[in-house]
A and B are shown apart, each in its own frame.
Chain A
Amino acid sequence: MRAPRCSTRPATALLLLVSAAIGGCASSATPRSTRLTVDDLEHVSREFAASLLASDVMRDRGPDSPLWVVSIERVLNLSRDVMSPGEQWFVMNHLRASLPVRQMRQEKNIIFVLPAEGARRAHEYAQQHGLETAPLAERRPTHVMSATFRSAVRQDEKGATELYYCEFEIRRIGDRELVWKDDVAFKRIARGHIWD
């Protein structure tokens, strides 16, 4: 009986098996982080622009109402996320640059202004992300608009859910009377082991 000839095909299969095992397989669709994204910041600013336009204080105003010059402060970050100064200013500047808010200048005699430092940082952030920015106006402010971001997280071995709560308000300079306030909340979910 002749000795059987060793085939190279099983060896090749073994190498392929090894290669495949080393390479692993990637999953690209699962969200891995609960950090704020550019989309979140845009969403928040759009929501608040619409809310402000529909508010009682805006309904009562017209083009001949006393001029309001609203100075915008950067977002106060009380969330778990680290927000760059550019991100903190971008939210406010994006709100200021939104169409409904721009229309308030003509229809409600309200303008929103950024401090010089904030305008610069917002401009830099928008450039980095290919987004539009608004020009800076210069007037003596009568009101100030501020925003606060908070978050709470629930984590287990398999993932995390983070609830963001964003609060905006406008106060009159001087007596600090609250003239408008609103909030929006949204969740971000991430899957994956906390301990890799």
Chain B
Amino acid sequence: MVNAPTIHAQAAPAAVATATARRVSIILLLGLLLGLLLSAAGCQDRMRMAPTHLIEQGEHAQAREQVMRHMTHDPSKRQYLLDRMRIGVLAMADGQPRAADVVFGEVFDVLRTLGINEDRTVAAAVFHEGVKFWKGEPFEQALALWYISAQQAMLGRWDNARAAAGNSLFRLHDFGRDPATGQRIDTAAIARRAAEIERARREGREVGPYDDGDDFLNTGYAVVESNFTLGYITHALASYQLGRDREGEDYLAAAAEIDPHIRPLLRELRDGDYNTVLMVGYGMGPRKVAYGPGNALARFDPRTASDGRPLLAAVRDQGGQPIADRRVAVPVVADVNRMAADHRWNNLEDVRLAKNAVGDLLIVGGATAAVIGADHGSDVAVFAGLGAMALGAMAKAGSHADTRFCDVMPQRLYVVPVKIDQPGQTVELQVQGLPGSRLILTGLMPPANGALQLRYVKLNSGRGSPPQWAVSGRIYYSNDITGAVPGPQWPWLLGGNDVRLPTPRAVEDYHRDGMTRDVTYVELENAYRAEGLRLAVEDGTGLPPGRHVLEGGDSLIPPMGGTTGFVRLFGQVHPPYRIQGAELRRLERRLIPPDRSEPPAVHRSR
């Protein structure tokens, strides 16, 4: 008989050492794995913010250039649609609606596509919300669709404006009010309710008609009509332009039902004598931040406070004097802070993915199983435990809410109906009590054939006084929108003050004022192109142009009259142009004799 106790006593120290080494190695491995995975929580893609200071000062072309410089061109990347949405909104703020055609076309296409994230839902739910393609919160989607509507309207495409506005009025999910407080329920309360249902289910208790938390999120709401007043108004305007008056009245009536305080404005839109509608944005929309356990929930914090201040508008004559009976004060029609804070306008994906409690439980359970498995020499138990822990740790890492958002939206929007019946009339705009927002809108012409014209105007929201260009009320350069300014006409690129595109009409003016007649508009256009200038939206890659040549860029494409971009560009004097290329330099030498330092027309005018 083997002296078992002796043998066992001799074997015990080695077995204990082995088990201890095994446990230590497993724990080290667990620690390393947990550290790596949890550190991933801090390594999610960070969103590069658009330059807020530029946007607040009305430098939308510069802001757009910066966003375009860092945009992704890979449609599979989460940032793809967000980049295009931002570029489109900034193009609109700069008075370049045609330039936004391509990017907004993509945005509309994606927003109309169903189930984009359906194939990624499993991975996103378990691991990382960043796996999903960004489509924006519902309020961001509605605003994007509204921008597309405004863009189409600015281009006179009222049928498309109607379609896009209609798309912005999708139905919402309403989880109602908190029975305890009577206040509209917020996303945090929805998350708590879902978690309570989950716990009750685990504990075998009945809690209402829901199977689990997901069931509550998927069915515990009522479907309600949109309360996006601005969408109803824009749809109504488009309906009127298409001769569908009764449809227009229906949409204005819907807006009146939602926001009774704007009924005077709606009556003006229905009955008033106007031929121009200004859609005016002010401020910076709210910022998306993570909060709560493990930063799993998201909310939108205001960057520009909601204050309900009206917008003052006054039409001025060619002399700059206010025209009697053409002053209005209009209320806020869309408050983006309020929309973002309303659970009906959130997609609740952060709620669905708020797994910190579940993640914690998995981590604890996983570690326990791994250690027990190691103690009992069971590889299966070890790796099952490791697997569970990996899942739990990764779930914890992935439960951080994605805080990407469309950071170029305004905080509020106004609708201003005015009448422009003479060239040279301007419109003075200011948010009441905010002198930094003051803007004198130039470049508006009376619309042809009794049609309605629409303009999107983004006011400056910086502190202090407005920049001088915003309130000069002047147009310093001949341009393709308002035509020639008084005085001799000569290309600005060659020392004059004319930034019109090289058309036969423009070149005829140059000939009249001293340009040799053997220079044709074709030759001038070729010289401009050789200089690297962009002369049409269709030139290039489908992206909007960058800065205008007046601001040091390479575009000669003018903004639409009656926009912030037009005012900024033509309402101030810019430094003279420095010729870059040989062809334009040769043309300059041909046109300006060496014994003169100025072009003939400018010389003559002095």
**What's the minimum C-beta distance from B218 to chain A, rounded to whole angstroms?**
8
Q: Is the CB of A77 within 8 A of B115?
A: no
**What's the minimum C-beta distance from A2 to chain B, rounded to whole angstroms?**
9
Q: Across the interface, name the chain B residue whose C-beta is closest to A15.
A: B390
Q: Known: A3-B22, A34-B112, A77-B160. Contact between A27 and B379, CB under 8 A?
A: no
- Indicate the size class of the contact surface on chain B: 35 or more
Residue-wise, chain B 1-37 has the 8 Å CB interface mask toward A (1 for contact) of 0000000000100010010001000000000000000
Interface Cβ pair total, 8 Å cutoff: 108
Q: Known: A24-B123, A35-B109. Contact between A192 and B163, CB under 8 A?
A: no
**Which residues does chain B contribute within 8 Å of A33, judged by CB atoms?**
109, 112-114
**Shortest 10 CB-CB contacts between residues of A and residues of B:** A192-B115, A192-B114, A196-B117, A77-B159, A10-B383, A3-B18, A24-B123, A82-B160, A33-B113, A32-B113
**Which residues does chain B contribute within 8 Å of A77, judged by CB atoms?**
159-160, 163
Stretch touching chain A among B126-134, B174-182, B459-467, B529-537: B126-134
Q: Across the interface, name the chain B residue whose C-beta is closest to A78.
A: B159
B386: Cβ under 8 A from any A Cβ: yes
B77: Cβ under 8 A from any A Cβ: no
Q: Is the CB of A22 within 8 A of B383?
A: no
Q: Known: A80-B163, A84-B105. Contact between A195 and B173, CB under 8 A?
A: yes
**Which residues does chain B contribute within 8 Å of A25, judged by CB atoms?**
119
**Which residues does chain A contribute within 8 Å of B11, judged by CB atoms?**
1
Q: Is the CB of A4 within 8 A of B114?
A: no
On chain A, the number of residues with a Cβ less than 8 Å from chain B's Cβ atoms is 42
B78: Cβ under 8 A from any A Cβ: no
**Which residues does chain A contribute within 8 Å of B394, judged by CB atoms?**
18
Residue-wise, chain A 171-196 has the 8 Å CB interface mask toward B (1 for contact) of 00000000000000000001111111
Q: Is the CB of B123 within 8 A of A193?
A: no
8 more contacts with CB within 8 A, not counting A24-B120, A82-B148, are A4-B377, A27-B118, A27-B119, A78-B242, A82-B108, A193-B114, A194-B170, A196-B117
Q: Is the CB of B118 within 8 A of A82?
A: no
A24 to B127, CA, bound (A): 11
**What's the minimum C-beta distance from B488 to chain A, rounded to whole angstroms?**
34
**Which residues does chain A contribute within 8 Å of B105, judged by CB atoms?**
82, 84
**What's the minimum C-beta distance from A87 to chain B, rounded to whole angstroms?**
10
A82 to B108, CA, bound (A): 8
Q: Is the CB of B116 within 8 A of A196?
A: yes
**What's the minimum C-beta distance from A23 to chain B, rounded to whole angstroms?**
7
**Which residues does chain A contribute within 8 Å of B242, judged by CB atoms?**
76, 78
**What's the minimum C-beta distance from B112 to chain A, rounded to whole angstroms?**
5
